Amino acid sequence: MTLAGLLITDWLQLLALLGVTLAFAYPLGMYMADVYEGEHTFLHPILGPLERAMMWLMRVQPHQVMTWKEYTAHFLTFSFVCGAALLIQLLVQKYPSVSPDLAINITLSFISGTQWQSAAPETSIALFTQLTGLTVQSVLSAATGLCVMIALIRGLTRSERKDIGHFWVDLIRGLVYVLLPLCFLLAVFLVSQGCVQTFGETLSFLSLDDATPHSVMTGPVASSAAIKQLGTNGGGYFLANAAHPFENPTPLSNFIQIVAMLLLPAASLFCFGKMAGSMKQASIILAVTLFFFLVPAISTTLLETAHGPNWEGKEVRFGIAGATLWTTASTATSGGATNAAIDSFHPLSSMQYMLLIQAGEIFFGGVGTGLACMLVFVLLAVLISGLLIGRTPKYLGKTVGVFEIKMASIIILIPAFMTMLGAAIAVSVSVGTEGLTAHGAHALSQILYAFTSVSNTNGSAMAGLNVNTPFYNLITMLAILLGRFGAMTCMLAIAGSMAEKQKTISNATALNTTTFVFFCALCAIIIINVMPYFPAIVLGPVAESFHLAPEGTWP
Amino acid sequence: MTSNEQKNPALNFSLIKNALLDSVLRLNPLDQIRSPILFVIYMGAVLSTLILFTSLFNSSSEPLGFMLSVTLILWVTVVIANLGEAIAQRLTEAGAAELQKANSSYTAKKLTNVNNKDSVVTLPASSLHKGDIVLVEAGDFIPADGIVIEGIATVDESAITGESAPVIRETNRERNIVTRGTLVLSDWILMEVTADHGESALDRLTQMTTKMKRQKTPNELTLEVFLVATTIALVIACATFYPLSLFYVEQAGTGEPTTLMILIGLFVCIAPTTIGGLLSPISISGMNRLMKANVVATSLRSVEAAGDISLLLFDKTGTITYGNRQAASIIPAPTVTHREIVKASLLASVADDTPEGRSIVDLAFKHYHMKPEALDKEAKIIPFSAETRMSGIITSQGTIVKGAQDVIELHVASQGGMIPKEVTQQVEMISRQGGTPLLVAENSKVLGVIQLKDIIKPGIKERMGYLRIMGIKSVMITGDNPLTAAAIAAEAGVDDFLAQASPEAKLSTIRKAQQNGEVVAMVGDGTNDAPALAQADVAVVMNNGSDAAKQASNMIDLDSSPTKLIDVVKIGKEILMTRGSLTTMSLANETSKFLAVIPAAFVGSYPALEKLNVLHLSSPENTVIAALVFNASALLLFIPLALKGVRYQAIKADALLLKNTLIYGVGGFAAPLIGIKLIDLVLVALLGQAGGP
């Protein structure tokens, strides 16, 4: 049975996805606001001792505060110290196949939550390193993302304060009260579905067709997959990522893993609403989010079924919608986990995924970074709408000034710059094009997607392009470095500058950021922001779609 | 509030011609780099010229005619982009030149002997000092800022106010301020100079307007940063597209790579040129409008801040009421007729030269149609003295006096009379309402009461209502007791009042409001207002205000009109709205141009993209040319709007946002689609199906 071109079951899956996500996200958001504000929560009796122990270990007091510059310095130092530790682990581990350029690439990739994997993890990275290196970094990078978000929320909602919280306090609270319990629950659930969690070694079996021995790796996969989804990291234990049956065994585990990707970003929205003292402010952002999430979620499912189901590169156990919803979620957030080959999607589907990433991964978005980046767009929309009604642009009662817009511009320009410049360099040099397996428009799409993904710390790829070369490892590393740490520094700068400002009262002649018109303004600003990518996209996926379509059947 | 339908320093043909010349002369890189967005467009024009020249000697993939047209249109675009600013500056200079002309050539007739009007020496206005007494006669220019100390004259103040109707200047405190550069039309006055040369309001105004290197306001800078970021992103997009296109064609093995010329054209189409070119004229013309509203501001920044005001504090006296109390009604005692008491009041006041006395005569004439009769020769006037605290007249019929209750009570008691109970009740009622009762008595008989009260200036209530619609709460500051203050506040339609206000109370009121997040404006004049003015976010001081007050404020109102703030708020909002509207328009425009031009620009590389040519434009070359022509015309067409400003209406923010979004956003998106199609049709009609791929 179909409704408007989609199977009823697909509609139901979509509705259930949003319903379940929001139903869990709301209480989680309230809880997060309490956690970061230092309120007592129901988990304090159990996890309180752990929090206190970690605080004691780091020599911090819960009431300490930092200016944005201190906060940034601690955040960067922490990330790079973690990075150094991971790098050493990667270089001294027992598998010799990790070259220095790959090691640095993996390191930056994991401390930034990108999880761009240019080599197959199961054949290049030892089990111990996967567990204590990669999985740990996945947790920590998610926690730092939350730190930056909470600092920005504080900046916007406080008034006349020099401080935006304390990095270590936020980090520890995020780890102990938010990520730890959620990861634990999800890992247990995944194990129940058949996901492996073991220190056992490789399994061997004889295949049915030719009776030759094959081997399958195992390892602590469930714990790795839990944070991969919850932290919108996307780095699979296996190269096949969530298409691998040990990482994502059943349709239910598939569904819950999609929810897990959207959960923390959606909860962050409600957390913002609570801290801003106005759920309406959060709802307007939620409305924009849902709009830009639903359009690709529905249209890519339509595209993948338009000329009969396109099963190439998709797992039959998840179904078409299981793959399109997953991929929409993992590109709308900074997840980048895949359960299907993006390379094999309809060109106009992969175009939409690319656009979702290029928009800045703000529709739900990455853990912490998604909301932070969305708020940057809100500031830009406030700038234009405020002027339209003859008022100094103000958001939540605070003036949006030159400094904030400068920082916002840098945040937006960094990925655009890295994507387009990176792609232009890659197509111009032989080391950039030698790894190509496709031709014409599709080759262009692959390169464009690769740079889009790393510049926005997404981590998903169209594959088909061999990126484990010194050229790609170094250039994508640079994109990740700037895309994550450059942008987050600017976000913290906005937080610091906004925190110092005074709040002014709002009246009937002030800009109301909870109306439908503001919704439109925010949507327009987001679309204008992706406009610079259009020329490249027209020559990539759009041209390809014409190429593939038989006469008169486009799209 | 002055209606500012003033003369506009001639937006005439010669001014536009000069401005056009200016904008051509500005085409050197050093001038262009001041505006980053225009600079990028300028570089595009330079680059396309270079390509054109090199293609003269090499074979090129584009027809020469196309390249020539693109290059020409780009240069025209650059000139038009500079035209707005050039016109705005020319207008400002014209206004300033007029003022300067008035400024330079005056002579002054200074009195050497203050008491002798004939002791005149003629000397240049520049040698006048504070305190000098000057005679100004019909046909003379007022040589300095000052106050009238004798005489009455009609003065043409249009050079400053832009109002063509002449105004009366006389010793009356309401109308005693004269401003340098204005022309006396009839009669004469003696004036005292209140400002040394080089300090007067006119000087400040002239200095301000001739200062061409103006500072950008925070709002303008913020917007510019955003626009520059957008432009940078588009430059990167167009620049990196060239290698992508080469790669694509090499990979596909067919098609032609997109040429640089097309990419330059594409960039200019999609860059925010309109707002980029008009950012500066918007600010300059905002300053112009402020000048015409007769306000001197220390910076445009404070004017823009005025758009955010949520609380306005002002003095009662001179603002919403006239300086003095005036007779409002005359109430007879029992057994006395209206005619009797009015006649007696008139007699008692006819020789009384105080404002109260005159107001009684006025009232008698206006309401009771009675004129003072000629007095008999024996009539003896009792002038008001601090000792007796009453005034009146002694005629053949008897003695008529008027004064406060206690004084009259004593006066009639000494003649065996007493105040009737009804009159006492009236007195109490008038006091309760915030008025001042004056009793009138003829010999021993009390005839009735004259009610004196603060007269609210006409139109105040409407203006306070208008402020409220603008989202501004008004607070009246007065030295009166709370009862009186409440009565006046209610009558004037003021939202709140601060009674028995000391300078400290004013200051703390402002501080408290600011802590609550209000943006506070203060209108004041006295020295004791200075601390409050300094604390307020926007401080407007009257031209007749004290020096201390002027120094503490960021705007001086040359008209001393208390509700001038409405104009300032409007101008501030209009500057921001014009910027916002043109930005929205520009961005919407660019988006739709982008969608129209992209298929055309890339169809050479991939012919199937022709399917995206939903407008059915004739050829890629024509499309690029049409988009560029539209771009340049839009820039030209919006210059007048940038100069005039988008009109502010006091409606709710939500409605205003919706309206402007529809006009400039949706309209801005639709217009290019129609415009480009039309230009394309014209091109086809003119050239035939020329320039096809």
pLDDT of B50-107, one tens digit each?
Answer: 999 988 887 767 788 889 999 999 999 999 999 988 888 888 777 766 655 655 557 7
Task: Mark yes or no for CB contact A420/B246 under 8 Å.
Answer: no
3-state helix, strand, coil in chain A (%, to 5): 65, 5, 30
Task: Mark yes or no for CB contact B222/A405 under 8 Å.
Answer: yes
- Range of A204-218, A335-349, B399-413 with top mean pLDDT: A335-349
Which of A376, A401, A390 has the alpha carbon at shortest distance from A501?
A401
Rounded Cα–Cα distance for residues A335 and A232 (Å): 4
Helix locations, A307-401, DSSP H: 319-332, 347-358, 369-388
Residue range A141-168: average pLDDT?
94
| Dihedrals phi, psi of B71, to nearest 5 degrees | -60, -45
**Burial state string for B30-52 with b = 16 or more CB within 10 A and e = fewer than 16:** eebeebebbbbbbbbbbbbeebb
Task: Mark yes or no for CB contact B218/A412 under 8 Å.
Answer: no
Question: Which residues between 355 and 414 in chain A have a beta carbon less than 8 angstroms from any beta carbon of chain B?
Answer: 380, 383-393, 397, 400-402, 405-406, 408-409, 412-413
Task: Mark yes or no for CB contact B576/A391 under 8 Å.
Answer: yes
Is pLDDT at B456 greater than 50 in this prediction? Answer: yes
Q: How far is B303 from chain A (nearest CA, A)?
A: 11
Element (H, E) at B358: helix B355-368
A399, A393 Cβ separation under 8 angstroms = yes
Least confident segment among A32-41, B244-253, B349-358, B576-585:
B349-358
Task: Mark yes or no for CB contact A536/B241 under 8 Å.
Answer: yes
Report the chain A residue with the minimal C-alpha distance to residue B607. A543
Residue range A359-384: average pLDDT?
93
Task: Mark yes or no for CB contact A504/B310 under 8 Å.
Answer: yes
* Token couple for A56: 């004691």
Residue range B288-314: average pLDDT?
84
Q: Which of B145, B203, B315, B537 is catalytic?
A: B315
Q: Give the pLDDT confidence score for residue B692 in this predicted structure.
A: 41
Residue range A113-134: average pLDDT?
84
* Token couple for A506: 């709002």
Q: How far is A297 from chain B (nearest CA, A)?
A: 24
Interface mutation target, options B235, B238, B241, chain A, most CBs of A under 10 Å: B241
Percent above pLDDT 90 for chain B:
21
Q: Pick A388's closest partner by Cβ from B598, B602, B657.
A: B657
Q: Give the pLDDT confidence score for residue B213 in this predicted structure.
A: 47
Q: Give the pLDDT confidence score for residue B206 in this predicted structure.
A: 57
Report the chain B residue with the minimal C-alpha distance to residue A417. B236
Interface mutation target, options A351, A384, A385, A387, chain B, most CBs of B under 10 Å: A387
Q: Pick B654's closest partner by Cβ from A439, A515, A532.
A: A515
Q: What mean pLDDT is reported for chain A?
A: 91
Task: Mark yes or no for CB contact A440/B238 under 8 Å.
Answer: no
Residues of A in contact with B221 (CB under 8 A): 402
Q: Give the pLDDT confidence score for residue B415 in this predicted structure.
A: 86
Report the chain B residue with the minimal C-alpha distance to residue A428. B243
Instruction: Please give the full DSSP string across B122-152, using - where no structure is assigned.
Output: EEEGGG--TT-EEEEETTPBP-SSEEEEEEE
Is pLDDT at B469 greater than 60 in this prediction? Answer: yes
Q: Which residue has the higher pLDDT, B678 or B27?
A: B678
Q: Tell whether A543 lies on the interface with B, counting CB pairs under 8 A.
A: yes
Residue range A359-376: average pLDDT?
91
Q: Report which residue type is found at A179.
A: L
Q: Give the pLDDT confidence score for residue A34 in this predicted structure.
A: 96
Q: How far is A81 from chain B (nearest CA, A)?
A: 33
Task: Mark yes or no for CB contact A392/B602 under 8 Å.
Answer: no
Is pLDDT at B378 greater than 80 in this prediction? Answer: no
Task: Mark yes or no for CB contact A387/B580 under 8 Å.
Answer: yes
Q: Give the pLDDT confidence score for residue B596 in this predicted structure.
A: 87
Q: How far is B593 from chain A (nearest CA, A)?
A: 11
Using one digit for the tens of pLDDT, what is the confidence trace for A75-111?
A: 999 999 999 999 999 988 877 778 889 999 999 999 9
Q: Give the pLDDT confidence score for residue A78 in this predicted structure.
A: 96
Residue range B142-164: average pLDDT?
76
Burial of B212 (0-12, 13-18, 19+ CB in 10 A): exposed
Task: Mark yes or no for CB contact B517/A397 under 8 Å.
Answer: yes
Rounded Cα–Cα distance for residues B222 and B237 (Å): 23
Q: Tell whether A427 lies on the interface with B, counting CB pairs under 8 A.
A: yes
Q: Which residue has the higher pLDDT, B487 or B101?
A: B487
Task: Mark yes or no for CB contact B218/A517 under 8 Å.
Answer: no
C-alpha of A150 from chain center: 16
Residue range B457-462: average pLDDT?
82
Q: Give the pLDDT confidence score for residue B5 in this predicted structure.
A: 36
Rounded Cα–Cα distance for residues B296 and A499 (Å): 34
User: With bands split at pLDDT 50, 70 and 90, how would you rate the model's confidence at B454?
Assistant: confident
* Ranges assigned E (strand) in A335-445: 394-395, 398-399
Task: Mark yes or no for CB contact B584/A507 under 8 Å.
Answer: no
Q: Give the pLDDT confidence score for residue B204 in this predicted structure.
A: 61
Helix locations, B253-310, DSSP H: 260-270, 273-292, 300-306
Q: Tell whether A421 lies on the interface with B, counting CB pairs under 8 A.
A: yes
Element (H, E) at A167: helix A167-173
* Token couple for B34: 């001041």
Is pLDDT at A529 greater than 90 in this prediction? Answer: yes
Q: Pick B606's closest partner by Cβ from A520, A531, A539.
A: A539
Using one digit for the tens of pLDDT, what is the confidence trace for A273-300?
A: 999 999 999 999 999 999 999 999 999 9
Is pLDDT at B346 greater than 50 in this prediction? Answer: yes
Q: Give the pLDDT confidence score for residue A5 in this predicted structure.
A: 79
Task: Mark yes or no for CB contact B244/A536 under 8 Å.
Answer: yes
Task: Mark yes or no for CB contact B223/A383 under 8 Å.
Answer: yes
Q: Tell whether A218 lies on the interface with B, counting CB pairs under 8 A.
A: no
Residue range B352-371: average pLDDT?
80
Is pLDDT at B669 greater than 70 in this prediction? Answer: yes
* Token couple for B680: 């394309």
User: With bands split at pLDDT 50, 70 and 90, how would you rate the model's confidence at B2?
Assistant: very low
Q: Give the pLDDT confidence score for residue B521 in this predicted structure.
A: 92
Instruction: Please give the full DSSP string across A126-149, using - where no structure is assigned.
Output: -HHHIIIIIIHHHHHHHHHHHHHH
Helix locations, B154-254, DSSP H: 158-161, 201-210, 218-252
Is pLDDT at A174 greater than 90 in this prediction? Answer: yes
Rounded Cα–Cα distance for residues B645 and B286 (Å): 8
- Residue showing tokens 């950021």: A513
Q: Pick A539's closest partner by Cβ from B225, B516, B605.
A: B605
* Token couple for B27: 């085409």
Is pLDDT at B9 greater than 60 in this prediction? Answer: no
User: How far, CA to CA in Å, does A36 sit from each of A77, A166, A172, B326, B657?
Assistant: 21, 10, 10, 65, 36
Residue range A58-83: average pLDDT?
94
Q: Which residue has the higher pLDDT, B46 or B288?
A: B46
Using one digit for the tens of pLDDT, what is the confidence trace for A403-454?
A: 999 999 999 999 999 999 999 999 999 898 888 888 888 899 999 999 999 9
Q: Give the pLDDT confidence score for residue A256 in this predicted structure.
A: 96
Q: Which residue has the higher pLDDT, A359 or B367?
A: A359
What number is the ipTM of this complex? 0.93
- Residue showing tokens 């009740």: B425
Q: How far is A110 from chain B (nearest CA, A)?
A: 28
Spatial strand order in the sheet of B311-315? B295-297, B555-557, B538-542, B520-524, B311-315, B473-477, B496-498
Rounded Cα–Cα distance for residues B545 and B314 (Å): 13
Question: pTM of the entire structure?
Answer: 0.86
Is pLDDT at B290 greater than 70 in this prediction? Answer: yes
Is pLDDT at B160 greater than 70 in this prediction? Answer: no
User: With bands split at pLDDT 50, 70 and 90, how would you rate the model's confidence at B4?
Assistant: very low
Question: Which residues between 512 and 531 in chain A have a beta carbon less than 8 angstroms from any beta carbon of chain B?
Answer: 512, 515, 517-518, 520-521, 524, 527-529, 531
Residues of A in contact with B244 (CB under 8 A): 423-424, 427, 444, 535-536, 539
Interface mutation target, options B236, B264, B571, chain A, most CBs of A under 10 Å: B236
Residue range B288-303: average pLDDT?
81
**Burial state string for B591-628 with b = 16 or more CB within 10 A and e = fewer than 16:** bbbbbbbbbbbbbbbbebbeebbebebbbbbbbbbbbb
Percent above pLDDT 90 for chain A:
70
Rounded Cα–Cα distance for residues B395 and B398 (Å): 5
Residues of A in contact with B645 (CB under 8 A): none
Question: Is B525 part of the annotated catalytic residue set?
Answer: no
Q: Pick A428's closest partner by Cβ from B243, B252, B574.
A: B243
Using one digit for the tens of pLDDT, what is the confidence trace for A317-348?
A: 999 999 999 999 999 998 889 999 999 999 99
Percent above pLDDT 70 for chain B:
89
Beta-carbon pairs below 8 A across chains A and B: 224
Residue range B613-625: average pLDDT?
86
User: With bands split at pLDDT 50, 70 and 90, how would you rate the model's confidence at B212?
Assistant: very low
Task: Mark yes or no for CB contact A390/B573 under 8 Å.
Answer: yes
B197, A357 Cβ separation under 8 angstroms = no
B24, B86 Cβ separation under 8 angstroms = no
Q: Give the pLDDT confidence score for residue B527 in this predicted structure.
A: 67
Is pLDDT at B383 greater than 90 in this prediction? Answer: no
Report the chain B residue with the minimal C-alpha distance to residue A552. B611
Other Cβ atoms closer than 10 A to B378: 8
Rounded Cα–Cα distance for residues A83 and A81 (Å): 5
Is pLDDT at B7 greater than 70 in this prediction? Answer: no
